A = this chain, B = another copy of it.
Amino acid sequence: MSLDQELSKAFKQSTIIAGHGKRNVETLLKAFQAVDGNLESDLYGKGKIIEDFQTKIASFLGKEAAVFFPSGTMAQQIALRIWADQKGVHKVAYHPLSHLEIHEEDGLKKLHHIDAVLLANKDRVIEFEDVVGMTEEVSSILLELPQREIGGQLPSFETLEKVSAYCKENDIKLHLDGARLLEILSYYQKTAAEVCELFDSVYMSFYKGIGGIAGAILAGPEPFIEESKIWKRRHGGDLISLYPYIIPADYYFDQRVEKMDKYWQEAQKLARYFNDCSGVTTRPVEPVSNMFHVHFRFPKEKVVPLLIDIYQETGIGITGHLREVSEFECYFEVSIGDQYEVVQDKLPDVFKLLKLKLQGLE
């Protein structure tokens, strides 16, 4: 077994700190527990289940209309395509670590022939100066809030307002990659609608903080949404039935939309635990959402056995996956959910042990 597999195995056998629990069929069973079998399926984007949910989320986001997609990958490519076609400019600007740039096998380029202009550098969020300093013409700018791959960092709300105003003046559409939109509202002290007002189109996910099974909403002006439905069919996303994702999305949205502030506070607590260990730093040091990254100033092959020991001694799992930065550094991602409450009483013991073991590495 490889190091990665051993870590993953030990993690799966423990009670985990982050997220809402293991990704298993229980997530579906719970969401359908109280659903009447006679409830009619949606049918190629029509019907009560899908239409009601779209209306509910459109209104929550303060947008004219919304459409449910099986994935955010599909929703966002389509959004950028519509804006590109509308302006006749097949270029979009986004962060070098955007999901579209690193996780989608270049779908945007290969399927839509849209090129990317990369803003900012890999280590920080996009600032107003990056936008103003752009020399190439683009049809849209995509902002990912929070910027996941750098630990979930955020620009200031003032920056968002300035970027939004600049885009309006310069005929550039502003699209929000809001995969984790709900998770940042507490930090900004804004409603979803107040954030979304700054953007022409918005995507949000239902299996991050919300903890559904899969699926996404794309929201924006009515004609934009109508066009997105045609592209949804072209992509093969206009499934005969999407209710297996919509019903859980709705169920967990209602259950967790009010818990995001709590998750954020717990993320701050957990980050302090980590930062209190020698050779460990969180990124950002003070989380601005329910997520952050934990960096170890030690080689991965030394950290993995140490973590496995802790899981086995305490029964608590910290992460199932460590990523190597260099031969001297590794990190993992944390997103807080319902599990934190389950394990919080055990954390003092877990971190006492972690501190002790890390001292052995120095």
Contact = CB atoms under 8 A, between A and B. Distances in A.
Interface string A19-30: 000111111110
Interface residues of A, number: 51
Given A32-B25, A32-B32, A244-B245, A234 B111 contact: yes
A348 to B, nearest CB: 29
A37 interface: yes
B28 A32 contact: yes
A132 to B, nearest CB: 32
A234 B25 contact: no
Contacts of A23: 40-41, 43, 240-241
A264 interface: no
Given A29-B32, A37-B29, A70-B239, A234 B107 contact: yes
B110 A234 contact: yes
Contacts of A71: 236-239
B234 A106 contact: yes
A104 interface: yes
A16 to B, nearest CB: 13
A257 interface: no
A36 B36 CA distance: 20
A74 interface: yes
Interface of A: 22-29, 32, 35-41, 43, 69-75, 77, 104-107, 110-112, 207, 213-214, 230-231, 233-245, 247
28 contacts: A23-B40, A23-B241, A24-B40, A25-B35, A25-B37, A25-B41, A28-B244, A29-B32, A29-B35, A29-B37, A32-B32, A70-B236, A70-B237, A71-B237, A73-B233, A73-B236, A73-B238, A75-B236, A104-B234, A104-B236, A105-B230, A107-B233, A107-B236, A207-B241, A213-B241, A213-B244, A235-B236, A236-B237
